[in-house]
């Protein structure tokens, strides 16, 4: 296991469960919406590790730089839809609970644009994003997730170009044990790939 991930080594099984929850939560919503949640929550929490990781992943998904760069000023930026604004606003509300109770108007706006199932998914993704921020900020050191994942798994195929920081940690944890059980997080398909326009035909052919 590389130095970046030594902090997660003492409880590998518990970390694998947490990673699996995070990845499955991501699979419940469109990938660009997931990235908006993760980047905005990480910005609010001051988590350099995951601002870097999620912005990189968003660009690999094909998100425009403007939509990534303007997230801190999303209220004044014209590049977000009404649906995305409701999502970002609710992400901020849940991430900043210590500043006050959620405003009913924020939830009302969310209900206009998202189904009940989607609202639960959003809450779980916000929960996971904030959890990862607290783990990384709490443990302190800079973690280059992309570099660590490349060291653990040589990018011999086009699939390897799609990066997910939680999967990178799962791969590191798995490499520290004799083997990863079938269905473990390190073996889960990278969630953003499920909706990638570039890889849709590849996914369909593999099903």
pLDDT tens digits, 102-123? 778 899 999 999 999 999 999 9
Q: Which two tokens stand for residue 103?
A: 């405003």
Residue 65 has what pLDDT?
96
Residue 110 sits in a domain whose CATH number is 1.20.1290.10
How many structural domains compose the chain? 1
Q: Residue 54: give the domain boundaries.
A: 3-206
Rounded distance between C-alpha atoms, residue 52 and residue 67, angstroms: 15
Whole-structure pTM value: 0.74
pLDDT band at 173 (very low <50, low <70, confident <90, very high): low
Taking residue 134's Cβ as centre, other Cβ atoms within 10 Å add up to 12
The model's pLDDT over 71-93, given as tens digits with 9 standing for 90+, comes to 999 999 999 999 999 999 999 99
Query: How many CA atoms are closer than 13 Å to the CA of 126, on its beta-carbon side?
Result: 19
Q: Which two tokens stand for residue 152?
A: 């653990």
Taking residue 83's Cβ as centre, other Cβ atoms within 10 Å add up to 15
């Amino acid at each position: 296991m590389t130095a970046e991930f030594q902090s997660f080594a003492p409880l590998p099984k518990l970390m694998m469960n947490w990673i699996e929850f995070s990845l499955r939560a991501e699979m419940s919503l469109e990938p660009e919406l997931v990235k908006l949640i993760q980047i905005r929550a990480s910005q609010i929490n001051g988590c350099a590790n995951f601002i870097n990781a999620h912005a990189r992943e968003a660009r690999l998904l094909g998100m425009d730089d403007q939509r990534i760069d303007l997230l801190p000023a999303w209220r004044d930026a014209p590049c977000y839809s009404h649906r995305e604004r409701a999502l970002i606003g609710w992400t901020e509300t849940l991430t900043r609970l210590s500043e006050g109770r959620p405003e009913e108007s924020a939830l009302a706006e969310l209900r206009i644009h998202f189904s009940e199932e989607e609202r639960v998914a959003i809450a779980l993704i916000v929960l996971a994003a904030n959890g990862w921020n607290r783990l990384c900020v709490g443990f302190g050191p800079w973690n280059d997730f992309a570099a660590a994942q490349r060291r653990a798994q040589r990018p011999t195929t086009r699939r390897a170009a799609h990066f997910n920081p939680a999967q990178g940690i799962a791969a590191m944890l798995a490499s520290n044990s004799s083997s990863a059980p079938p269905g473990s997080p390190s073996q889960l398909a990278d969630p953003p790939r499920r909706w990638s326009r570039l890889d849709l035909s590849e996914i369909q052919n593999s099903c």
